[in-house]
Amino acid sequence: MLYQTQHSVLGDKATLESGSDLSFPIHIHNSFEVIIATEGEIEVTVGGNKYIAAGNRCVLVFPNQLHEIETPRHSKHAILIFSPQLVRAFSKRFEANVPKSNSFLLDSFYINKIVELKGNKSTVGLKGLLYSVCDEFDKNAEYTEFTGDGQNLLFKIFSFVSENYKGNCSLYELANQTAYNYVYLSKHFSKNTGISYTEYVCRFRINEACYLLTNTSNTMIDVAYESGFDCLRSFNRSFKSILGISPSEYRKKALIHDSAKNDSI
């Protein structure tokens, strides 16, 4: 299994991938993924359940769901991968649940909007599109408790981080709550995800910080504490090591970007 850090989109971000004859081995990431076949058929296996993406029949993969993509003959695709932060009101409702079926019908209007999505789309416009897609999915969806697709321990770890990232999120505390040895937990997580537990926690906290930086006027120190960092220095260092810029630069760029897009509408 591969943990796709490049597909774990940080902050209010989304990426659109297109191409042909896509096949990708079983993997996992902390983002939503809409899979659209613009030509032919794509087989998508999510948590052991196989779906066909073709025409208006699409597949929505939830964060931390194991999934695999195969093209049996020929296909062209558009895959939109987006951070849960972009649809926070929707994603927060289902942190402990997953859909019984990931397949859904999506109106051609929204498919065309996704296929034609450009990098200069405003954050407001992007959120509007994504909420509409999630609403289309939610209309006929049924949900069940998130058991982790057979990887129960791994998903207990994901849940633990989600619930405790603001406070004590150490491996020692995780070991206390799961009754596993902390060394075993560390090795198990790294083996199944390809990254260390510490890196995952840091990326999770940075993702929360990105949301606060672009959606609130909180001070930097408040953003740091709300994201689970114990001091501003640690927050700044971790943020820059992952995103390449400081938190203040990130906020400034986000504000300039949205201002420019709003002026052009």
Cβ-contact 51, 69 below 8 angstroms: no
Residue with the larger pLDDT of the pair 1 and 256: 256
Same domain? 168 vs 64: no
Work out the average pLDDT over 94-99. 82
Work out the average pLDDT over 67-95. 90
Q: Could you give the 3-state DSSP secondary structure of residue 29?
A: coil
pTM greater than the 0.95 cutoff:
no
Q: Of all helices (H) and strands (E), which one includes residue 17?
A: strand 14-20
Q: Residue 56 is part of a domain; what is its CATH number?
A: 2.60.120.280
Which among 94, 129, 145 is the end of a domain? 145
pLDDT digits (tens, 9 = 90+) for 19-41: 888 888 777 788 899 999 999 99
> In total, how many domains does the chain have?
2
Same domain? 56 vs 113: yes
Half-sphere exposure of residue 110, counting CA atoms within 13 Å on the CB side? 23
pLDDT digits (tens, 9 = 90+) for 165-206: 999 999 999 999 988 999 999 998 888 777 789 988 998 898
pLDDT above 60 (res 82): yes
Same domain? 172 vs 72: no
pLDDT confidence of residue 101: 97
pLDDT digits (tens, 9 = 90+) for 136-157: 999 999 998 776 544 578 778 8
pLDDT confidence of residue 171: 94
Q: How many other C-beta atoms can be found within 10 angstroms of the C-beta atom of residue 166?
A: 13
